[in-house]
Amino acid sequence: MAEPILKCEKLTKRFGTKTILKDCSFEIFEGDILAFIGPNGAGKTTTIKLILGLQNITSGNVIINGYDVEKDFVKAIDKVGAIVENPDLYMNLTGRQNLELIANYYKDVTKKRIDKVVELTGLKNRINDKVGKYSLGMRQRLGIAQALLNSPKLLILDEPTNGLDPEGIKELRDLMLSLAKDEKIAIFVSSHNLSELESFCNKVCIIQNGSIIETSEVNKLKRKAAKPVYSLELSKTTGLKKLLSKYKFETTNDNTISIEITKNDVPQLLKTLLDNKIKVFSCVEKEMSLEEAFLKRTGGNVID
């Protein structure tokens, strides 16, 4: 079995008598894009700082690429790229000059590697323009290009969609999917934008009050969070209350109902409707969103 790129084991952080994180455990494998979500104050930023060695760990372990962050920090962090909040960029320099400056902090980052990350992030046509002329989306991609210079196996992004317009968000989404699939990078993303995370993350980790309460594949979480719900478009909805008394349903518009029912019970439902001269024009299972699943799992604890 493959070893995880990032493994957090019973991660705990205390400030004085206050416990910020308690026994947090999760892992990310090559090619995974993990959505790390939770309400404000849940411990997301603290977790990121512990992973990156920016704060001391009270107890527990962070293992990156097989190395313990506290015991062997240099080797553990060697193949990690990160953007915490906004990337630091020099607006009066070109994109390439920014990358060349950052490349000096690493060993053996060649011109070929710089050209490679420029291509990966889609900046080839604008890399020689001053960063001050870049859109927010382009600046975010340049920040990711900086984080990719050292050929990381783990990429950590904190609120990468902040301030981006729909086009910028789409560009970022496509980039994340490409990096995970083609470059086999494990990506850890913390964000409040659950609808966007749902579009490119395959796994989710929910933190609440300093503890991990769920780690799952996104699709499994959505299926587990609630009973199956089907949307049916009918020829009429009169008399349904009595006819479907054993089901929980609601009329969503003129002749469409939303009903909680298992897949195995759908054929009998359709037969009941047809036997009572009610035509069924469509029957579609409604998929719960990541945000809805999150709210159900956390008891309605909203991400602000």
pLDDT interval class at 304 (50, 70, 90): very low
Domains and CATH numbers, the chain: 6-223 (3.40.50.300), 227-287 (3.30.70)
pLDDT digits (tens, 9 = 90+) for 78-105: 999 998 877 889 999 999 999 999 999 8
Start-to-end CA distance of the chain, whole Å, equals: 38
Main-chain dihedrals φ then ψ at residue 303, nearest 5 degrees: -85, 120
Amino acid at 146: Q
Amino acid at 166: P
E runs forming strands in the chain: 6-15, 18-28, 33-37, 59-64, 67-68, 80-84, 154-158, 186-190, 203-208, 211-217, 229-234, 248-253, 256-260, 280-286
Main-chain dihedrals φ then ψ at residue 169, nearest 5 degrees: -65, -40
Main-chain dihedrals φ then ψ at residue 282, nearest 5 degrees: -160, 150
Does residue 177 have a pLDDT over 70?
Answer: yes
Q: In 3-state terms, what secondary structure has residue 63?
A: strand
Mean pLDDT of the chain: 91
pLDDT digits (tens, 9 = 90+) for 6-33: 999 999 999 999 999 999 999 999 999 9
Least confident span in 24-38, 45-59, 167-181: 167-181
Taking Cα atoms as reference points, which of 260, 266, 265 lies closest to residue 282?
266
Does residue 263 have a pLDDT over 60?
Answer: yes
